[in-house]
Structure 1
Amino acid sequence: MHTQRTKPLLFALVLLVGLLALSGARPYDRATWLLEVLPVFITIPVLWTTYQRFPLTTLLYVGIFLHALVLMVGGAYTYARVPLGFEIADLLGLHRNPYDKIGHFFQGFVPALVAREILIRGGYVRGRKMSVFIVICIVLAISASYELIEWGAAVALGQGADDFLGTQGDIWDAQSDMFFALVGAITALSLLSRIHDRQIRQLGSPGRGG
């Protein structure tokens, strides 16, 4: 399974790098773009250097790719100005662009699968219920940490942080961001756990690479 996936994953990597460059060609605000896509810059080399000794499931690679797309679109336009968000707002009769909530949904959805895969393959947690509990705790910790980063950016940049924060005047933005991350984590665990388990078994132990 490991070697069979190498070419498709390389293609996905090249595509992702190309889309990253495209998103940064003419962003609405260069500093905001860099802050928003920074996780992509960090994730790509990590996945590259760990591929041989700890390849991930195909499901997780797909999730990471989709999450990166969400981040890059948000970075290019800023979350409050993404056209898709305006279309969703018009469709649902919302008073604000909700694209940032899609980003926070993925902030729970994908990290839940990452945490679950590491915990299961490493044998760190026994019992399905305990695994679910720990994964959700990890997701909420990540989400809360990100809100602290946003707070730090607001303090450091002042008014210039508005595009990065994307609060759009919502005083409960931080709380709703964490709620959407929680919903994303629960959705991933509810819908994909069986598929994830099957792919983990097919992949084999980390040391063998499948």
Structure 2
Amino acid sequence: MKPLPDPGFRLLLLLPVLVALAASAIDPYDRLTWLMEVLPVLLVLPLLAATGQRFPLSRLLYALIAVHALILIGGGAYTYARMPLGEWAKAAFELQRNPYDKLGHLAQGLVPALAVRELLLRHRLVADRVLAAALAVCVAMAISAVYELIEWAAALALGQGAEEFLGTQGDPWDTQSDMFMALIGSSLAVTVLARWHDRSMARIR
């Protein structure tokens, strides 16, 4: 049976993302950092719009993509090191740095892993759910590694101007902890969220 599109639900998720994106573009802390941080949103939204009728995704995946987009937009508007939500957490839990970027990297692992899992299972590319989970985590970690390479390239190209984009806040192990958060996120996606994801996918068949 052909999957049925769910335009009302998608529009409900899209509106706050577009509003947040427009608001973040008015006066971001650093324009170049804003562009680099929200670029994934600018690339993914047209892709989802183009494929929404032919291959609509599960409601759970759409919702998590929207949340991830809002995380990226917030980081772009304030920079990750200055995000007010992270500053609150830093003060409340007596942390040494603003932890907002770790939330972003958690989502960076969770959302791609869930997307890969959905594509593998719905296209029947993999029948075994354990293998699908393993492949989803591997792809999510590959995306995380590529993103860290992009940050490295930006640092080489922009020099000191890349500091806001990198958001290391003086942490020499920032790259490793970013990838570890992506590993945690991808692992949660294929374990804790697996049954919820299965039910959400079943509703569109």
Pairing 1:72–2:73 present: yes
Give the drift of 1:92: 1.9
Deviating 4+ runs (over 3 angstroms): none
The residue number in structure 2 matching 1:208 is none
Aligned to 1:41: 42
1:141 is aligned to 2:158: no
Distance in 2 (CA, whole Å) between partners of 1:147 and 1:102 is 15
Q: 5 Å matches for 1:1-210?
A: 2-3=4-5, 5-204=6-205
Q: Return 151-160 or 187-196, whichever deviates more.
A: 187-196
Q: Which string of whole-angstrom CA distances, capped at 9 and with x for unpartnered residues, describes residues 4-33 of structure 1?
A: x31232232233212100011110000000
**TM-score normalised to structure 2 length:** 0.95
Could you tell which deviates more after superposition, 119-128 or 36-45?
A: 119-128
* Structure 1, unpaired ranges of 5+: 205-210
Tell me, in whole angstroms, the C-alpha distance in 1 between the residues paired with 2:204 and 2:54: 12
Q: Name the SS of the counterpart of 2:62 in structure 1.
A: helix
TM-score, normalization: structure 1? Answer: 0.93
Q: Distance in 2 between matches of 1:22 and 1:35?
A: 16
Tell me the distance in 2 between the aligned counterparts of 1:36 and 1:80.
13
Q: Does the CA-based 8 Å contact 2:13-2:63 persist in structure 1?
A: no
- Secondary structure of 1:47 counterpart: helix
Q: CA deviation at 1:132?
A: 1.5
Identity %: 53
After TM superposition, give the deviation of residue 95 of structure 1 in Å: 0.7
Contact 2:113-2:189 at 8 Å conserved across structures: yes
Provide the aligned C-alpha RMSD in A. 1.2
Q: Once the 2 structures are TM-superposed, how far is the Cα of residue 51 of structure 1 from its aligned partner?
A: 0.6
Aligned length: 203
Give 3-state SS (helix, strand or coil) of 2:192's partner. helix
Write the distance in 2 (CA, Å) between the matches of 1:161 and 1:75: 13
Once the two structures are TM-superposed, the CA of residue 185 in structure 1 deviates from its matched residue by 1.0
Give, in whole Å, the separation in 2 of the partners of 1:121 and 1:6: 20
In 2, the alpha carbon distance for the partners of 1:198 and 1:11 equals 21
The DSSP-based 3-state class of the residue aligned with 1:11 is helix
Q: Which runs of 5+ in 2 are unaligned?
A: none
